[in-house]
Structures are given as structure tokens and as C-alpha cells.
Amino acid sequence: MGESAAQRTRDQREADAASVSTSPERERLLGLVTDLILRDGVIDLSLSAIGRGIGSNNRMLLYYFGSKEKLLHEASLVAFERFPRLGSMFARLAAPGELADRLDAAWEDLAAEENRPYIALFFQRFGIAMRDREQWHAYVDRSTHYWAEDLADILRDEGSSPGDALALATQIVALWRGLQLALLADGDEALLRTAYRAGVRALLAGDFSRR
């Protein structure tokens, strides 16, 4: 299996850190910004508002991070690292056992109460990226492709053909995204779990290459 989405996130974080001078103050500011966006979100968040929210100012933030977009990008990577259950989800999906059971467990990871601050942040950033795809193209690519590719690797190991594996993985990730949105909108957790399990089994039943 190729490099996972979680590993790509860590690699990106390391690459970002290597491209700039690091300092205790920079790391402190980054941690504070991460706290801020997980608590308050990123919709219509200006650089000045970030500075006020963490007790800093535009000049210091631009000195350490270059731009608001670079700062929010790096803070979002740090935010993902704070939710290890999400970061290790694909390792559990690749473990032995019935595929449907492993996919059920993946939904429990995705829907866990402890992970919802990051999930809310994810969809906020995705919405911003849709307004400015050129500036946020890397985020859109990561959010739409990496997880499907990682899941497709697992499905190929289960016997799906490469083409069918990617198509099925894309459908499952779309199911995850749609039900996560419903969950954030205060959807009934038991109903969403039932809908998810039914949807996964219908998708698996339609993947004739695995039979």
C-alpha cells in the first residue's frame, strides 16, 4: 500500500517546517492559531482577527508565516495531528477481518464526538476552497483524492480490480462526507449509522469484481 493520507499530512507538515525558520515563538503562535480555528472556525476569519484572538498582530504573523493562507494551511495540518483516531483510521481499515466490519468501524471513527471539531474545520476549509480553487487547489486535491486513493489500495488488496477499486472507494468516501455533514447538522446518530451500514453493503454488493 502507498503512503497514507495521515503520513502525507505529516510529510507536508515537515516540509512546511523545513521551508521556514523555526523558533519556539513560531511554534507557540502556531499552536494558538490551531486552538483558535478549532474553537471558532475559519469562515470570514481575517488576519487581524487571528492576531486579536491569540494576542498577537499582523506584523508578527506575517513575519513567521508569510500570509494568512499559509498560516491557516499549516494550522490545519497541526489540527489533524491532534485527532489520532482519524490519523490511524486507514491502518485499522487495512487490518485483517471482514471488510464490511472494518468499514463500519471506520464510520465510528469518523462520527466520534471527539473528532467533530476537526470535521467541522474540514468542511469550512472545503467551502472556502470552492470559492478560490486556484489558491486552495492543494487542499482540494488532498481532500478529494488522497482518501479515495488510500481506500482503493485496501479494496484492491481485497480483490477488486484497480478501476473498480477506485470507483468504489470514491463512492464510499462520498458516503462518508455526506453523512458527516448530516451529523454536523445534528442528524440522528443511530439513523445515520443505520443508513451508512446499509449504504456500504449496497456498494460492496455491487462490486462484482470482488466476487
Query: Does pLDDT of 7 surpass 90?
Result: no
CB 82 within 8 A of CB 30: no
Residue 204 pLDDT level (bands cut at 50, 70, 90): very high
Q: How confident is the model at residue 209, as a pLDDT?
A: 45
Neighbouring residues of 134: CB distance < 8 A, sequence distance ≥ 6: none
Which fold is adopted by the domain 5-81? Arc Repressor Mutant, subunit A (1.10.10)
Q: How confident is the model at residue 157, as a pLDDT?
A: 94
Give the domain ranges of the chain.
Answer: 5-81, 84-210
pLDDT in tens, 10-33: 555 555 555 555 789 999 999 999
- d(C-alpha 112, C-alpha 109), whole Å: 5
User: What is the chain's mean pLDDT, rounded?
Assistant: 87
Query: Does pLDDT of 208 surpass 70?
Result: no
pLDDT in tens, 32-82: 999 999 999 998 899 999 999 999 999 999 999 999 989 998 999 999 999
Indicate if 84-210 has the same CATH topology as 5-81: no
Q: Where are the alpha helices (DSSP H) in 66-188?
A: 68-81, 84-87, 89-93, 99-111, 116-131, 137-141, 147-157, 162-184
Q: How confident is the model at residue 102, as a pLDDT?
A: 97
CATH 1.10.3470 fits 84-210, yes or no: no
pLDDT in tens, 96-134: 999 999 999 999 999 999 999 999 999 998 888 777 766
Q: How confident is the model at residue 10, as a pLDDT?
A: 52
Q: How confident is the model at residue 211, as a pLDDT?
A: 47
- Over residues 85-98, the mean pLDDT reads 94
Handedness of CA 120, 126, 131, 132 (dihedral sign): positive
pLDDT in tens, 124-176: 988 887 777 666 666 666 666 889 999 999 999 999 999 999 999 999 999 99
- d(C-alpha 12, C-alpha 77), whole Å: 8
- d(C-alpha 104, C-alpha 98), whole Å: 10
- d(C-alpha 135, C-alpha 148), whole Å: 22
Q: How confident is the model at residue 132, as a pLDDT?
A: 73
Query: Does pLDDT of 210 surpass 50?
Result: no
